[in-house]
Amino acid sequence: MYKCSICGKEFENLNDYVSDVAFCADEERKRQDALKKDALAKDRSRREEELRKAESHYYKLLQEYKKDYGQKRPDPFEIFFGF
């Protein structure tokens, strides 16, 4: 007697058992892929919102800098080394 560990069906014949296990494993893989795709879709909207907030925040900082110091951006070399 053989029992599929995925679906729980019992089989008398080894060939039937092996084909069912292969079928169940393929179905389980498809189900896991669908769950992963759904999770990524949900996570995408959250991450896009975070990016919009960050973009807005840094745009405001850039506008404040331009208002205070003019259009010239700071030279990265001057920022890091003070020359």
E strands along 1-83, which residues? Answer: 2-3, 10-11
- Tokens representing 10? 């019992």
pLDDT at 62: 84
Average pLDDT over residues 7-35: 92
Return the SS3 of 63: helix
Name the pTM for this structure. Answer: 0.52
pLDDT at 54: 93
Question: Residue 75 pLDDT more than 80?
Answer: no
For residue 41, give the H/E element and its range.
helix 14-69
Task: Round the average pLDDT of the chain to a whole number and report it.
Answer: 86
- Tokens representing 18? 């092996």
Look at 14-18, 49-53, 67-71 and tell me which has the smallest mean pLDDT.
Answer: 67-71
Contact (Cβ atoms closer than 8 angstroms) between residue 6 and residue 28: yes
pLDDT at 83: 54
